[in-house]
Structure 1
Amino acid sequence: MKKYFIFSLLLCSLVGLAQDKPKPPLTWKDVGSWKAIPAFGGTQLSPDGSWFAYVLNPNEGDAELVVRKTGDTTKIKYPLGAGTFFNMSFSDDSKWLAFKVYPKDKDKKAAAKAPAAKPLPDKVFLINLASKKKTEFDRVRSFDFNGEQSSVLALHLTPATPPGPPGADAAKGSDLLLYDLVSGKTQNIGNIADYAFNKKGDWLALTVDAAEKAGNGLWLRNMTSNVVMILDNDKASYKSLSWTEKGDGLALLKGIKDEKYKNDLYSVLGVKNFSGVPELVIYEPKKDTVAFPKGMTISGNRTPYWSEDLGRLYFGIAKTEPAKKETPKAENKKDTLKKESDAEKLAKIKADTSIKTIEDLAKAISKVKADTTRKVAAAPADANKEKPDMTIWHWQDKRLQSRQQVLENQDKNFNFIANYDIAAKKFLRLTDSSLKSLNVAPKQLYGIGSDITNYELDNNLDGQNYADIYVVDLSSGKRIKVIEKHYIPNFYASPIASPDGKKFLYWKDGSWMVYNMESQASLNISSKAGTSFVDVEDDHNVRKPPYDVFGWTNDSRFVLVGDGWDIWKLSVDGSATPQNLTKNGKAEQIRYQNRYVLDPEEKGIDLAKTQYIRTYGEWTKKSGFAALENGQLKTLLWEDTSLGSLTKAKKANAYVFTRQTFKASPEYYLSTSAGLENPQQVSQNTPLLNNYAWSPSVKLIDYKSDKGDKLQGALFLPAGYEAGKKYPTIIYYYEKLSQTLNSFANPSYPGGGWNPSVYTSNGYAVFIPDIVYKLNDPGMSAVWCVLPGVKAAIKTGIIDETKMGIHGHSWGGYQTSFLITQTNMFKAAAAGAPLTDMISMYNLIYKNSGSSNGAIFEASQGRLLPPWENWEAYNRNSPLYHVKKVNTPLLLLHNDADGAVDFTQGIEYYNALRRLKKPVVLIQYKGENHGLAKLPNRKDYAVRMMEFFDYHLKGKPAPDWLEKGIDRLRLDDHLEKRAMSEE
């Protein structure tokens, strides 16, 4: 008995020891298998709210779909393969779920190694949610349920055999399966290029594209009677199917090949009267020799659509492009002459009677050769000789040549908008070279045009945006300029049309204005509000930018705008006093940030219905949801988490939202109450989270900048944190980021090597301070904000001030490169793609857009006036200018194909530091842009950056590449060894 007792005690002790065993840190090797719900497109709620589907996608490997019944614990899992964007859809009656299944990761990798391998097709699984029966369909390109009817699943297949070489008559169509959800029977319709159901799902539009265009046309299928009508049939191509929102009108393009032109010549087809016998309307430019502009055609690059009253068709027009005449391969004239002279030579030699001996024959051949040489020398210049490959950059170019190159395809595809009045049989061109941009307002009564012609050069030089604003009558084409040189400091300052299509809201010199397109009059609607709507927190070099616009009310009588804190209701005609709907925002420092659009078909804000708004505590970092109902505000949720992503089921009072903290991944919660009471968790995100050591909490650090600005920073504690113990710390920044206090950082292989969750799991503290900027001092602003923040965080006793590293990428990389010229506080620094010489950077090109960096410096992130007015400020804020003061070991990441911050910026800094014999290592990944895109490169740099910090901040041994570099001849061996060690 005594032995048994001792054995029991020993067993209990061993169990206790096993339970207390600390969890391992998350390594970069582990990150590959980490699964999480994608931030976009990874979830879906059924229309009746009874089912919730979500994807768990690993960083490497195969994803799975989890289908959860919201009323109980029923859960089904399905393999999805290796996808990037996941496509799933519930039927409108919530009885079925269809989703794409992609090839497995291992099969994709195997195919990638075999260039001749056939493309791996996708599948679709169809699930009967009541019986859980699964039906599989192979080679599916796309799929759709037939709208509100929910009786059929359409599946457009990828051809079983790859199509032949493209040509004028190459078929674009493939099989379309119509699977009857009730009977389980399938119908196959061949040669379908495109298909589209209307909203109700009682009509299916089909375009046929067969080999040699035999039988091509537009078909309509009545899904109730299954009768198919051929509305148009021609040796043509049909494309760009577009149903009206109500499903009572269909528009598309019909293209005919004409050998004289490079592209098809298009007509517009419109179909209406779906309650009776569908009526086809065709507008053919070639038959309209009076109104349609000569030398133009209907564009194939704009989808046509009906006006709301089905009275007009809208479409694009563009210049015709003559086909290039095929120049036969011109033979080299030297070759031609040579062939001719060979024939002549033979004839002459045969005809020469003086040839008696071998010596005579040799003389005759020499004479013929000499004649040929003289003929070649006298031959005319080759008409097909090589042309110079060059570009002319002119100081008056409105857009840089590099910008023109980036936009070349967009410019080629540009088209002007026009319409065709069905009853009047009248074509009307609405835009031309003097007014290219036009937004058609709701109800299609007016269009709001924007012309930057007079300002384009200056806009591109200094980044300050101006435009002339026009109103166009869409029935007559008459246009009037209503605002000259309209200043657009940000997105919200541009005209925003009302739901009735008769007015638009715009911003003018700190005030909200409404222009009435019928009366042609403007009115200041914000002057009596008693608050400012100017975004005073925007520290870019723009004048009086506005805060957010929440939208028009559905009756077009009011607009809702923000003052940075509260939401204001402004009367469009000035008849009502401006009203603060939320009241307590500014007083309690709560930001009413954004309104959730729960009905995707809404036409303006209906204040008779409950409006849901996200709230955020500026200094507490709390978040929540508030409801506006009958003019009254009610707080629904308010907590120390980050809440967001509120959606509603289409046909039920079922609301889903997310909740997360730094240590708890975003989970989805469902409430069947309009007040969001008693929410139930319906997801299980990041299933591996509990397997690893994790940050236990985060502290909010309050501090002031050296210029007196009130700021905050988020200090994330390391896994296994013990009070009183100091930890190595990474300081990371990018303008203002303290709002990430309650944001979960999913472990991944990032494009810049940084992931805070991996670092805290591995025993680092992470501090993220805010930066605000002063004009002409972007670098010094980092000094004035980051250093006081770090000093405030050190006072917590958590940070080991002798083991601090800093890191930032892009603009954050610039801050890093600059900070180490101003302080020796940090033991190590890693800078990704940094700006280092503000003068040379100003005059370089942002290659990704083709634009000059100057505009970014003057009106955007650079926050500097032009250098010739400001040389000292450019030098003062350039890391390169202060390079001699650098004593901090630096790891630089800069790629040779960086299209945002030119590679030369990294090289300049590296070479200067190297010349001064400062400790610097530059890592360059060939062909990569501003951030790393290729997975092997992302994995490699993430590991190297942590190795760099581990050596400097934790005292771990330095890897060879860091200690003594890797010779070019040994690089392949080095990379191979690392790859083997990762396996």
Structure 2
Amino acid sequence: MYKPFALLAGLAFLQPAVAQQTPKKPLDHSVYDQWQSVANQKISQDGKYVLFQVKPQQGDGTLYLKTAANQTLRQVSRGDSAQFTADSKFAVFSIRPQYQVVRQAKIKKKKPADMPKDSLGVYTLNGNKLSKYPNVKSFQLAEDAAVLAFLGERLPVKDAAKKAPTDTIKKLTDQLLEAKKEGAPLTVVNLLTGKTSTFEYVTDYQISKPGNKVGFAVVAPKGNKDVKSGLYVLDVASGTAKLVSAGKGVYKNIAFDEAGKQLAFTAEKHPEKALVKPFSLYYSDLGADSARVLLKPSATPLPKGWSPSGFGKVSFSKNGEKLFFGTAPDPIPQDTSIVDFETAKLDIWNYKDDYLQPMQLKTLKKDLQRNYLAVIYPKKDGKFVQLENEYLRDSFLPENTNAEYILAVTDTGKRVSMQWEGTTLKQAYLVSTVSGEHVAINPKAAKSRFQMSPDGRYVTWYDYANKNWFAYAVDGRKTVNLTGKLNVSFTDEENDSPDDPQPYGLAAWTKDDAAVLLYDRYDIWKVDPKTGVAVNFTGGVGRSTKQIFRYTIPVEKKKFIEPKDELLLLVQNETTKQWGYSRKSISSLKAPEALVMAPFGYSNLMQAKKGDTFIYTKSNVSTSPDLYVSRDPKKETKLSSINAQQKDYNWFTADLVHWTTPKGYKATGVLYKPENFDPTKKYPMVVYFYEKLSDGLYKYTAPAPTPSRLDIAMFASNGYLVFTPDISYTIGEPGPSAVEFINSGVEDLKKNSWVDAAHIGLQGQSWGGYQVAYLITQTNMYAAAWAGAPVVNMTSAYGGIRWESGMSRQFQYEHTQSRIGGTLWDQTERYIQNSPLFHLPKVQTPVVIMSNDADGAVPWYQGIEMFTDLRRLGKPVWLLQYNGEAHNLVKRENRKDISVRELQFFDHYLKGAPAPVWLQRGVPAVEKGRNWGLETTSSSAVKTTP
């Protein structure tokens, strides 16, 4: 049988030979799987150890355990999801099955229970000891202790039976068949002492933060009288487990308080045949013999017909006094007398619905599990306060959960306009966890973003209409405009959409909510939320030097800046696009100290919790993003060295280019050239675009099967110039704006003798696909074009649905990316003039369209409209429809396929290579799955299955 990707390595012969000035070879489609990346990096709390994965695009990765001095302690093949213990003495990780073993199991169509299982690895960092546990489904580490709990996978019955004595095989088989549904073995290990406890038939478990307790639910198999169903609590120190709630049922949401001295959970213990099974809320102070019911279904404090929810998260406040949980109306019992095949199946759309029916169907599972936050005081006679309700159903707890108030936000009654606005107006309230009091923060609904400060003292928000940041003091009930008196904009200064500009954002808070850090375009401002007094934290250096300062707290789970913290600020030079870091103490009045600025891209820092050591990745267009460790960005140690094979291939360079458009706009783009670029030769060029891409000048781009974008590495390596122009827009003219910036950039580059002006192509996906479709109706200067998921008819797309979210597409045209700026009936001419469909007779450029039948962003019929109309006009056009695929290709086999076809298409039209079969004659439906049409017409006859 002919296999399309078994020949990928050989498809290099389909590419025309490129003269090489060096022995380096061009990339081909066989290189993808081996290209590596660094992932899941972590640093131990004491800063002495680092772990990270090196992952190929497809295949088995390797977990590296190293010291911060770059001493390799261990390499673990297929290690994944690794974590350090809080004491920095152990690393715990999953060990995945071999890729090829899993692949073979899939080929054999094995059932999920028979698929290869993960193992668990525990490595002692200062003892070079690796322990392994087979067949592990999941694991948890105590946040503050070296205590590990993991749930095993039950072996297939036949494998377990082989290990048992003959006279017990039947009994074991029966029990395993039942237990397969009801639980698996739980193992708890004190990693410091090695003490281990194991329990059977466990369905759920939770380890306390200090690691002193483990709660777990057991469901005994039918007929097993030796095991009691219920909720157990293990005392890790003694190794003894106590049954705190007995009975068969469903136990969920197991939660301990911060000290591991209180336990809560939800459970339902109704008979199996009961039509309605509401949950109860249980509590134990772990000193009592058993857990007690705090709240039963339909208890007095609850609304009639309501119960504690099995889907609501259960959690204690930091001081252990409050217990948060969810409540919900009891589920509607199913009518078992209804015959399925005799009932109508339909969706009813009503103009009064808050949400369109497709949105409701998308959120159906979430809505069925919807619950409303409540709080109860276990130590205060079970005092109960309902915090959310069906009107006020979205709330946010501050990081300090001891605080009296939470933030609640609602858009009830304001949701219909989401159809054309894309967002809703919101009202915010403080809700007291003590009395249930509701305090309105903004009495009039507004387009705003509300968030609560870490300590719970302030609510902050950006008001889109006022274009300023505000703070509301919980104590004093006073609102302060934080930015209104500052002579600088805190919203997008380059906004080119018919919508309110977005804020640059909020960086972080300082301890005790003393100050908040806000961004303008360049600088960071430190603002007192009580008074609104503000200072430019970066001293105006950003705006005066066109450098953009940004900050992210680098310590995992840390929520605020300490008074003595020194901040490392990520910086980008807006003009050169270079990146670097500057340093500044949170309490200092001095300008930031520049540490490094280089032609590299830096990731956010990850810092040790108990030290000043941090890790990060650094890369540029020719240097892979390797991992570094440092205490100062000027003195770094490289921990990884990936993609050594790159040196064997013809790579590429990247340069900023500038030009002036016909209307006088200053424009910027990036030009990628082959590493072996020779200015005495002529090169074909592919133009790729999506909004603005020049900030990625120093981004490393690995060769990879494309989800539908242009693989810059592959094209540049194979002798193409790749040009990525930035586009700025005039509202109401998205198509002409693309013409203004893209065509003028191309014309400017054509002045260079090394650009083959007769062989320039276009490639774009989604919004870029629309622009490709529009451009080829306005000019014949392009020799070939590729449009992925394009919209060609704005008049028909306007009323469509984005099926991945269920939202109407109207907001996109009126307010966001499509930039028309009005309704179809108010701006009819704009919709027509910007729609390629109405100008298709002018097209002379050969074009490939990708339009997939499961596209959830752009209606599939848009690609069909473009194809059928160009086909009727006799234009050279092809449509690729990947079955069951989304807006951007997800399946790797499809990504590989389109990568081959894209290069073949442009090679044919821009380099004169022979046309492959799929371009020349197509692939008839009767050959689908047997012939992919990838051979060139000059090669042997098409291969099919005999």
TM-score, normalized by the shorter chain, greater than 0.5: yes
Q: Is the 8 A contact 1:589 1:619 kept in 2?
A: yes
Residue number among 947, 950, 969 corresponding to 2:904 in the alignment: 947
SS in 2 for 1:747: coil
SS in 1 for 2:716: helix
Q: Is the 8 A contact 1:171 1:209 kept in 2?
A: no
Residue number among 512, 518, 530 corresponding to 1:573 in the alignment: 530
The 2-side partners of 1:977 and 1:575 are apart by: 65
Residue number among 737, 748, 751 corresponding to 1:781 in the alignment: 737
**Deviation at 1:598?**
2.1
Match for 2:305: what amino acid? G
| Corresponding position: 1:844 with 2:800 | yes
| Corresponding position: 1:495 with 2:450 | yes
Q: Is the 8 A contact 1:268 1:304 kept in 2?
A: no
Specify the alignment match of 2:913 in structure 1: 956
Residue number among 66, 88, 91 corresponding to 2:85 in the alignment: 91
Specify the alignment match of 1:346 in structure 2: none
Specify the alignment match of 2:248 in structure 1: 235
**Deviation at 1:281?**
6.3
Specify the alignment match of 2:691 in structure 1: 735
- Give matches, 1:398-413, under 5 Å: 398-413=354-369
The 2-side partners of 1:194 and 1:459 are apart by: 39
> Which has the larger share of helix?
1
The 1-side partners of 2:530 and 2:101 are apart by: 64
**Deviation at 1:327?**
2.8
Match for 2:37: what amino acid? A
| Corresponding position: 1:414 with 2:414 | no
SS in 2 for 1:848: coil
**Deviation at 1:192?**
2.2
SS in 1 for 2:635: coil
**Deviation at 1:776?**
1.3
Match for 1:112: what amino acid? K
SS in 1 for 2:389: coil
The 2-side partners of 1:976 and 1:835 are apart by: 27
Specify the alignment match of 2:96 in structure 1: 102
Q: TM-score, normalised by structure 1?
A: 0.86
**Deviation at 1:245?**
5.2
The 1-side partners of 2:583 and 2:257 are apart by: 32
| Corresponding position: 1:224 with 2:237 | yes
Residue number among 308, 318, 321 corresponding to 1:308 in the alignment: 318
**Deviation at 1:752?**
0.8
**Distance change >3 Å, CA 665–CA 165, structure 1 → 2:** farther
SS in 2 for 1:457: coil
The 1-side partners of 2:73 and 2:441 are apart by: 59
Q: Deviations over 1:720-776 (max 9, x none)?
A: 112333311111111011011100012211211531111111111211111122211
Specify the alignment match of 1:460 in structure 2: 419
**Distance change >3 Å, CA 454–CA 753, structure 1 → 2:** closer
Specify the alignment match of 1:252 in structure 2: 265
| Corresponding position: 1:648 with 2:602 | no
**Distance change >3 Å, CA 149–CA 316, structure 1 → 2:** closer
Q: TM-score, normalised by structure 2?
A: 0.89
SS in 1 for 2:623: coil
Residue number among 500, 510, 531 corresponding to 2:488 in the alignment: 531
The 1-side partners of 2:403 and 2:290 are apart by: 21
| Corresponding position: 1:808 with 2:734 | no
The 2-side partners of 1:976 and 1:798 are apart by: 33
**Distance change >3 Å, CA 195–CA 781, structure 1 → 2:** same
Q: Is the 8 A contact 1:667 1:681 kept in 2?
A: yes
| Corresponding position: 1:551 with 2:547 | no
- Give matches, 1:783-798, under 5 Å: 783-798=739-754
| Corresponding position: 1:264 with 2:255 | no
Q: Is the 8 A contact 1:753 1:938 kept in 2?
A: no
Residue number among 437, 442, 445 corresponding to 1:486 in the alignment: 445
Match for 1:386: what amino acid? E
The 1-side partners of 2:510 and 2:189 are apart by: 42
Residue number among 617, 638, 646 corresponding to 1:689 in the alignment: 646
- Which deviates more from structure 2 when the two are superposed, residues 630-639 or residues 809-818? 630-639
Q: Is the 8 A contact 1:283 1:420 kept in 2?
A: no
- Larger radius of gyration between Structure 1 and Structure 2: 1
Residue number among 95, 105, 109 corresponding to 1:115 in the alignment: 109
Specify the alignment match of 1:138 in structure 2: 134
Q: Deviations over 1:694-744 (max 9, x none)?
A: 11x211112234444433111111131123333111111110110111000
**Distance change >3 Å, CA 916–CA 648, structure 1 → 2:** same
Residue number among 130, 148, 157 corresponding to 2:152 in the alignment: 157
Match for 1:66: what amino acid? Y
**Deviation at 1:252?**
2.3
Residue number among 620, 638, 654 corresponding to 1:698 in the alignment: 654
**Distance change >3 Å, CA 705–CA 125, structure 1 → 2:** same
Specify the alignment match of 2:203 in structure 1: 193
**Deviation at 1:179?**
4.0
Q: Is the 8 A contact 1:164 1:170 kept in 2?
A: no
Q: Deviations over 1:564-587 (max 9, x none)?
A: 110111222226344443421111
**Distance change >3 Å, CA 770–CA 444, structure 1 → 2:** same
- Which deviates more from structure 2 when the two are superposed, residues 92-101 or residues 69-78? 69-78
| Corresponding position: 1:175 with 2:170 | no
Specify the alignment match of 2:62 in structure 1: 64
**Deviation at 1:885?**
1.3
**Distance change >3 Å, CA 313–CA 751, structure 1 → 2:** same
| Corresponding position: 1:25 with 2:20 | no
Between 1 and 2, higher relative CO (CA 8 Å, sep ≥ 6) is seen in: 2
Q: Is the 8 A contact 1:45 1:51 kept in 2?
A: yes
Specify the alignment match of 1:37 in structure 2: 38
**Distance change >3 Å, CA 385–CA 181, structure 1 → 2:** closer
**Distance change >3 Å, CA 728–CA 272, structure 1 → 2:** farther
**Distance change >3 Å, CA 434–CA 61, structure 1 → 2:** closer
The 1-side partners of 2:779 and 2:530 are apart by: 57
The 1-side partners of 2:877 and 2:903 are apart by: 16
**Deviation at 1:195?**
2.7
**Deviation at 1:591?**
0.7
**Distance change >3 Å, CA 877–CA 681, structure 1 → 2:** same
SS in 1 for 2:604: strand
Q: Is the 8 A contact 2:280 2:297 kept in 1?
A: no
The 1-side partners of 2:21 and 2:262 are apart by: 68
Match for 1:89: what amino acid? Q
**Deviation at 1:307?**
2.1
The 2-side partners of 1:73 and 1:178 are apart by: 31
Identity of aligned residues (%): 29
Specify the alignment match of 1:752 in structure 2: 708
- Give matches, 1:282-293, under 5 Å: 282-286=292-296, 289-293=299-303
Structure 1: gaps spanning 5 or more residues: 1-18, 330-383
Q: Deviations over 1:655-682 (max 9, x none)?
A: 11111011111011111x2x33310111
Q: What's the C-alpha RMSD, in Å, of the aligned pairs?
A: 2.9
**Distance change >3 Å, CA 126–CA 433, structure 1 → 2:** closer
- Which deviates more from structure 2 when the two are superposed, residues 254-263 or residues 606-615? 254-263
**Deviation at 1:113?**
2.2
SS in 2 for 1:965: coil
SS in 1 for 2:674: coil
Match for 2:154: what amino acid? P
**Deviation at 1:322?**
4.0
Specify the alignment match of 1:620 in structure 2: 576
- Give matches, 1:875-914, under 5 Å: 875-914=832-871
**Distance change >3 Å, CA 972–CA 438, structure 1 → 2:** closer
**Distance change >3 Å, CA 145–CA 316, structure 1 → 2:** closer
**Deviation at 1:597?**
1.3
Q: Is the 8 A contact 1:467 1:484 kept in 2?
A: no
Match for 2:445: what amino acid? H
**Deviation at 1:106?**
1.9
**Distance change >3 Å, CA 170–CA 662, structure 1 → 2:** closer
**Deviation at 1:167?**
12
**Deviation at 1:300?**
1.1
Specify the alignment match of 1:663 in structure 2: 622
The 2-side partners of 1:178 and 1:385 are apart by: 49
**Distance change >3 Å, CA 856–CA 51, structure 1 → 2:** same
Residue number among 319, 337, 343 corresponding to 1:327 in the alignment: 337
**Deviation at 1:121?**
0.9
